[in-house]
Amino acid sequence: MTKKLAIIDGKSVFYRGFYAMSNLTTSDGTAVGGVYGFAAMAIELMRKFQPDYVAVAWDKQGTNIRRRKQIYPAYKAGRKPAPPEFYTQVPILHELLEAFHWPLYEADDFEADDIIGTLARAADDAGGLDTLMITSDLDMLQIVDHNTRLFALKKGFTDIEEFDVAALEQKYGIKKQQFLDLKAIKGDSSDNIPGVPGIGEKTAVQLLRQYDDLDGIYAHLDEIKPAWRNKLADGRELAYTSRSLGEIQFDAPVRLDLPAMDVRGVDPEKLRAALMKLEFRSLLRRLPDFMRSNAPLEILPEQTEIEKIKNSQNSDFIKKLDLDLEPLLRKIEARGVMIDVAGLGKLSQVLAQRISAIEREIWDLVGEQFNISSPAQLSVILFERLQLSTAGIKRNKSGYSTGKSELDKLRGAHPIIEKISEIRELLKMKNTYVDALPKLVDRDSRLHTTFSQTVTATGRLSSSNPNLQNIPIRTELGQEIRQYFVASPGKLLISADYSQFELRLAAALAGDKQLIADFDDDRIDIHTKTAAEAYKVPVDAVTPEQRRNAKVINFGVLYGMSPHGLAAATGMSFSAAKDFIEKYFAARQPIRDFLATTIKKAETDGYVETYFGRRRQTPDVRAANFVIREAAKRAAANMPIQGTEADLMKMAMLKIEAELGERAPQILQIHDSIMVECNPADAPQISAEMKRIMENIYPKIGVKLRVDIKSGANWGEL
């Protein structure tokens, strides 16, 4: 079996941790945000990719860019140095890497890119290795090949884009070997690589498609139209200089030492001691089995100061709830859910054909071919070639934005807009799920996501590597993908889903007696009743459109939906939406009062909390910036509701595991639902027991909870 070598761009990952958790300190005040971020990413790396060998490449401080500065003195000029507390954490990180048994490589005059490139090339030469490069630097795309992949950190530590040769060529619309020349022409502002002034990515791609490489472009300069030819001629020296600056070097003074990189060389006791010294107690529970100490977690000290950053003054009940849930989450992760790999393979082929067909339709609409996935090229097509209106369209450094919110403003302006939205959805689903999921299953075709309790501020579980909570529920393609999450042979899936969970809890927390009574009466459709009250018409006279509007505001009000938001979601005019919201709150005055009181508490006390005492600190409700302040208020208003929902869901998961155990093992928890797997003959009884447990999980909450039960051979049937 081919073994895996993971090479981490150390400073790239460290930077992310440092700036994401800049205020993180141990109990004695030692700053450890960067180290914590790196450690969390490292553990996720082990869990997701299960590498056999790991190495860390590092940009050595001081002389590491001297060689490139000799080529171009302005290389990386203007970069601000990191603050002193960044560098004080580096020795701490080195100690932790030693505990992980991961060697760190750095060298004078060589950047981390060059070290990664040298090690990856050595792995190619050695044979029998798949190399995984973990970095946020896309320069490394130039060395991606049949057994070397790039995993680009995009946002945080869970949004990762995978590149093999096919993905690279699809994204940029060029051949893999042309990537360096693309950078040479368009430049890179982050590294102050100049490129050819006036020539952007779209033009560079067109030139490379026609003339193959940089040499080919300059060999045929007289064939190129004057506007481009003159810029290319003037920027010839800069182009070749940029190529030299961007080219990965493969002669760094490092060697491939597999025994030193072997992950099995870790000393679990030493690693445990290192994590405990840093007060990273929560990370101990996420370690793979071979990295874990034999010491039981129960003997570890109570919650450390670093964890109180997350759970300041949480009730003892909440602390115990979260602690009790951890072993169950690890069980659910280990069980996994079965994937129909062959079925997804066929779906991938179907989607590829649909994508190609739409791509041709788009090209026909504009009369030329271009890379639809390139925002820069698409911007030129929409706003220069097709001359679509730019009124109200945001601008960025590369031109007018082509993001979803901006394209939504152009709907109806040209048929291309709907086609772009369609192909984007297809590409996202194909790349993120249809093609990616089969690569993540184990030998039994089971997929193992990772659940975390510390990512969201409300206490809700998050799913990552892969994130199964982001598969669209309401789209046709999202439902189709769910059909390939299947029951094990001879088993059946059961899903128990809390109905209108947040709205019911809002009624209870606000003490809205009328709304509670409506929910307790199963004969009443709450959205129809809301529409009747807001529109002041009899219940039997409510139109489907009025009910839809009421449904939107019933859920949207919990997130601070504005008249603009309601108008956009329903098609109502702004004035009609504003009037509807006023009528809604007139009928739901307790809800309005509860939201206002919650925001006031956030402002005066600096926190809000759930029914059970889970707290969220709210410093930004007093921010000077209006956008930040209003967003913080919306988050504060929703937290008691969504957080209480999370608390109840965790209680239900623990109760189901305690009563049903392996008769109905839990395999997924998504949003408001719990999924189990069981024998078909047991399904009626299991369904009844799950409904009983979940609906009666905490009667004192003050409102009737309702659970919908569905069963089927796959997730799409649930």
Tens digits of per-residue pLDDT, 676-686?
999 999 999 99
Confidence of residue 706 (pLDDT cuts 50, 70, 90): very high
The per-residue pLDDT for 61 is: 62
Residue 310 has pLDDT above 50, yes or no: no
End-of-domain residue from the set 231, 246, 261: 246
Q: Is the pLDDT of residue 308 over 60?
A: no
For residue 42, the model assigns a pLDDT of: 83
Residue 219 is predicted with a pLDDT of 93
The CATH number of residue 99's host domain is 3.40.50.1010
Mean pLDDT calculated for residue range 62-86: 72
| pLDDT over threshold 60, residue 56 | yes
The pLDDT value given to residue 438: 93
Query: Between 528 and 300, whose confidence is greater?
Result: 528
> Side by side, which strands form the sheet with 104-105?
104-105, 53-57, 3-9, 129-135, 148-155, 159-163
Cα first-last separation, the chain: 37
- CA-based R_g, the chain, Å: 28
DSSP H helical ranges for 50-196: 66-71, 84-88, 90-100, 112-126, 165-172, 179-186
Residue of 393, 484, 379, 376 whose CA lies nearest to 433: 484
Residue 311's pLDDT band (boundaries 50, 70, 90)? very low
8 Å CB contact between 666 and 656: yes
CA-based diameter of the chain, in Å? Answer: 81
* pLDDT surpassing 80 at residue 246: yes
Which H or E element spans position 668? strand 666-670
Q: Residue 280 falls within a domain, yes or no?
A: no
Cα separation, 675 vs 690, in Å, equals 10
Q: What does the pLDDT average to over 81-109? A: 88
Q: Give the type of residue at 160.
A: I
Question: What is the number of other CB atoms lying within 10 angstroms of the CB of residue 469?
Answer: 17
Q: What is the mean pLDDT of residues 488-502?
A: 96
Q: To 5 degrees, how large is the angle CA 323–CA 325–CA 330?
A: 110
Where does the pLDDT of residue 299 fall: very low under 50, low under 70, confident under 90, or very high at 90 and above? very low
pLDDT surpasses 50 at 465 = yes
Mean pLDDT, rounded, of the chain: 88
Residues 397 and 458 in one domain: no
- Residue 403 and residue 452 in one domain: no
Residue 560 belongs to a domain: no
pTM: 0.63
Residues 496 and 370 in one domain: no
Residue at token pair 């899936």: 493
Q: Comparing 193-207, 331-345, 552-566, which segment has the lowest mean pLDDT?
A: 552-566
For the chain, the 3-state helix, strand and coil shares in percent, each to the nearest 5, are 55, 15, 30
Measured distance CA(619)–CA(316) in Å, rounded: 23
Q: In this structure, are 681 and 640 located in the same domain?
A: yes
Q: Is the pLDDT of residue 575 over 50?
A: yes
pLDDT single digits (tens) 576-616: 889 888 888 888 899 999 999 999 999 999 899 999 999 88
Residues 23 and 617: their CA atoms lie apart, in Å, by 14
Assign residue 394 the CATH number of its domain: 1.20.1060.10
- Other C-beta atoms closer than 10 Å to the C-beta of 328 total 18
Same domain, residue pair 96 and 182: yes
Question: Do residues 46 and 124 share a domain?
Answer: yes
Q: What is the distance between the alpha carbons of residues 438 and 450, in angstroms, rounded to a whole number? A: 16
Query: Which pLDDT score is estimated for 375?
Result: 85
The least confident of 139-143, 398-402, 528-532, 678-682 is 398-402
Instruction: Give the CA count within 13 Å in the CB-facing half-sphere of 193.
Output: 23
Q: Find the CATH number of the domain harbouring 671.
A: 3.30.70.370
Q: Which domain holds residue 715?
A: 313-335+448-482+489-512+612-718
Q: Are residues 402 and 476 in the same domain?
A: no
pLDDT-derived band of residue 301, with 50, 70 and 90 as boundaries? very low
